Amino acid sequence: MNTRFLCDRHLGKLAKWLRILGYDTLWNPADMSQDFLRRGGRDGRIALTRKRDLEGVGLDRLIVVKADRVDEQIGEILDKLALTPDPKDRLTLCLRCNATLEAVVKEGMEGAVPAHVYQNNTCFRRCPICGRIYWRGTHTRNVEEFLRRHIPTHPP
Ligand SMILES: [Zn+2]
């Protein structure tokens, strides 16, 4: 089974990047309780938190994230868990909902995305929950640029 995560309130940016990399990641901006983090652990998720006082409270599957910048945080987690994200998994989850994106036929996208996006892309995906549309062109380039720049130990 793929590694899945749960992020505390302070790690919204990290949650988004883990989703970009294809890791199923829950993030609840409202709930910071130990119970939320425990529930994630029971669910087979690795809980990520910024709360240093949670270190050593007996929660297994909990990582206290030390780095401040999101790029360093990603590196920290990938290193700690010896994970190498599969490029095939990139941008398969909605960044907002964490839902698995569905492939949609190009024809149906005319008018739903900007004209130049429609013209320059063949592959579109849609979130079944929020309806947001993703296309590989722009998003993938941005992601790969970010990874190249910030995570040299994990080249795309
Ligand atoms: Zn969505």
Answer yes or no: do 95 and 145 share one domain. yes
**Ligand 1 centroid vs 126 CA: distance in angstroms?**
8
Within a domain: residue 53?
Answer: yes
- DSSP classification of residue 3: -
Check whether residue 33 and residue 59 sit in a common domain: yes
Query: In this structure, is residue 37 part of a structural domain?
Result: yes
Rounded distance between C-alpha atoms, residue 94 and residue 134, angstroms? 8
> What is the DSSP pairing of strand 46-49 with strand 25-27?
unpaired
If asked whether residues 146 and 93 sit together in one domain, one would say: yes
Q: What integer pLDDT is reported at residue 138 of this predicted model?
A: 61
Q: Which residues contact 154 (CB under 8 A, 6 or more apart)?
A: 75, 78, 84, 85, 147
Cβ neighbours of residue 35 closer than 8 Å, sequence gap 6 or more? none
CB-based contact 54:34 (threshold 8 Å)? yes
8 A C-beta contact, residue 47 and residue 61: yes
Q: What is the 62 CA–ligand 1 centroid distance (Å)?
A: 26
Q: Quick one: 94 and 82 in the same domain?
A: no
Of 34, 69, 86, the residue that ends a domain is 86
Strand partners, 113: 110
Using the mean position of ligand 1's atoms as its centre, give its distance from the Cα of residue 128 in Å: 7
Same domain, 76 and 45: yes
Same domain, 57 and 68: yes
**Is residue 74 domain-shared with residue 43, that is, in the same domain?**
yes
Same-domain status, 64 and 135: no
User: Can you give the residue range of the structural domain that contains 32?
Assistant: 5-86
Q: Which of 70, 86, 102 is the last residue of a domain?
A: 86
**Is there a single domain that holds both residue 55 and residue 120?**
no
Ligand 1 centre from 26 Cα, in Å? Answer: 13
Residue 96 alpha carbon to ligand 1 centre in Å: 5
- Tally of domains in the chain: 2
Task: Give the pLDDT of residue 100.
Answer: 96
The residue ranges of DSSP E strands in the chain, in sequence order, are 5-7, 25-27, 46-49, 62-64, 102-104, 124-126, 133-135
For residues 23 and 98, give the distance between their C-alpha atoms in angstroms, rounded to a whole number: 9
Task: State in Å: Cα 153 to ligand 1 middle.
Answer: 30
Residue 123 in domain: yes
| CA 140 to centroid of ligand 1, rounded, Å | 17
In order of 46, 68, 75, 107, 152, the CA distances from 3 in angstroms are 8, 22, 15, 35, 21
| pLDDT mean by block of 10 residues, the chain; 156 residues | 86 93 88 70 84 70 90 91 86 92 90 90 92 79 74 52
Same domain, 77 and 101: no
In a domain, 118, yes or no: yes
Among 86, 108, 134, the domain-final residue is: 86
Distance 101 CA to ligand 1 centre (A): 8
